[in-house]
Amino acid sequence: MAPAETSTEVSAGAGRPPRIRWARARETSANQLFLVPVALVFVVLLVVPLTQTFYWSFTDFTGYSAEVKFVGLSNYGKVLTDPSMLAGLGFTLAFTIGSAVLITVVAIPLAVVLNKKFFARNFVRSVFFFPAIPSIAILGLVWGYILSPLGSGVLNSVLESLFHAGPYPWLSDATLARVSVIVVAVWGGAGWHAMLYLAYLQSIPSDYYEVATIDGASARQQFFHITLPLLTPAIVISNFLLMTGGLKVYDLPYTLTKGGPGFATYTITQSIITSGVAQGRYGLASALAVLFTIAVGIVAVAQLWVSRRIERRVL
């Protein structure tokens, strides 16, 4: 719709009778009225709070005292030395990279298989996609019961009755807890991302595979030389979604382990909420939020840049 508009714009002012010009002006301002709601949302829910976060990050604001002192960059210094915040930073990064890599490695072969014809294909697809439907928080709570470190936990009691092994401290040992959170995230996300890959797989012409088969390429060769290169745009999109989603992660670790044991599965978001809303350490929480925004911003801009380049190369 956009191009037609510029032409009326230009012709609106010049060389028309004043009556029409006035009618045009009224129409234009009526049109601009439609931007008022979104401008309100943008200013009230984004610009103002973002500015506040930025401002607080340089102050010692606690939420109660009327007197607010500028403290320069000291909040930023504290963020990078505070053990709980560093723990949150560390696990968030480990979670982001770990889940992104594992989901990609699982989802691509899964999509290739789901793309083949077999008995009850639609049902099987639904089963894999299912974890994307309910709330991640509820899945976290259910998995909390399954992985309960007590002997009565579902997995532990199954292992006990089958192999007389355990009980294993799935969620109470730091390393096991970290691994458990990532594994549950892969369980929950692989099907969703496989659907994304599936959409791209379906657009690959089947001639490519027919020609390759005639030329004597093995299934393995076809996968690495046809499927994988043609999936590059999907891999980029899926991984950027996983990265931004991973950096923002909160629901799953919080409902599964509450960030514990200790700070083993603490996340950036949990840090911001705990120190900002619960403890009133606004300056500190805001400094962390600013750093976090910059990190997410870099990933988002990189995504735009990389996907534009890929589009250009593919077309």
Partner 1 sequence: MIGLACLVGVPLYYIVVNTVKTQEEMARSPLALPTKLFLDNYQRVFETVPLGRSFLNTLILTVASILAMLFVGSTAAYAMAMRASRFNRFFGALLLLGFIVPGQSTLIPLYRMLVDAELVDTLRGLVVIYTGGSIFVYFLIQGYISRLPFEIIEAARIDGAGPFQIYWRIVLPLIRPILATVGVFQTMWIWNDFITPSVFLSSPEKQTLVMQVYRSVGEFSTDWPGFMTMSVIVLIPMVVFFILTQRHIVNGLLAGSVKS
Q: By CB under 8 A, which span of 162-170, 201-209, 221-229, 238-246 interacts with partner 1?
A: 238-246
| Binding residue for partner 1, selected from 191, 246, 253, 259, defined by CB under 8 A | 191
| Binding residue for partner 1, selected from 86, 97, 101, 146, defined by CB under 8 A | 146
Q: By CB under 8 A, which span of 13-21, 67-75, 212-220, 269-277 interacts with partner 1?
A: 269-277
Of residues 177 and 256, the one with the C-beta less far from partner 1: 256
| Binding residue for partner 1, selected from 28, 218, 232, 279, defined by CB under 8 A | 28
**Residues near 308 by beta carbon (within 8 Å), at least 6 away in sequence:** none
Of residues 97 and 236, the one with the C-beta less far from partner 1: 236
CB of 211 to partner 1, least distance (A): 26
Q: Report the site for partner 1 in 67-96 (rule: CB under 8 A).
A: none
Residue 257, interface with partner 1 (CB under 8 A)? no
Q: Report the site for partner 1 in 4-23 (rule: CB under 8 A).
A: 4-6, 9
| Binding residue for partner 1, selected from 20, 25, 45, 179, defined by CB under 8 A | 45
Counted residue by residue, the chain has a size of 315
Q: By CB under 8 A, which span of 67-75, 96-104, 113-121, 212-220 interacts with partner 1?
A: 113-121
CB of 307 to partner 1, least distance (A): 9
Buried b (16+ CB within 10 A) or exposed e, 16-52: eeeeeeeebeeeeeeeeeeeeeeeeeeeeeeeeeeee
Q: Report the site for partner 1 in 277-296 (rule: CB under 8 A).
A: 277, 282, 285-286, 289-290, 292-293, 296
CB of 296 to partner 1, least distance (A): 5
* Residue where the block lists tokens 């309960």: 148
Of residues 250 and 266, the one with the C-beta less far from partner 1: 250
| Binding residue for partner 1, selected from 14, 30, 162, 315, defined by CB under 8 A | 30
Measure Cα distances from 302 to 178, 237, 272 in Å: 28, 11, 25
Measure Cα distances from 185 to 3, 105, 113, 136, 299 in Å: 45, 14, 21, 9, 20
Residue 130, interface with partner 1 (CB under 8 A)? yes
Of residues 226 and 236, the one with the C-beta less far from partner 1: 236
- With contacts defined by CB under 8 A, how many residues of the chain interact with partner 1? 86
CB of 191 to partner 1, least distance (A): 8
**Cα 274 vs. chain centroid, distance in angstroms?**
21
| Binding residue for partner 1, selected from 68, 196, 212, 217, defined by CB under 8 A | 196
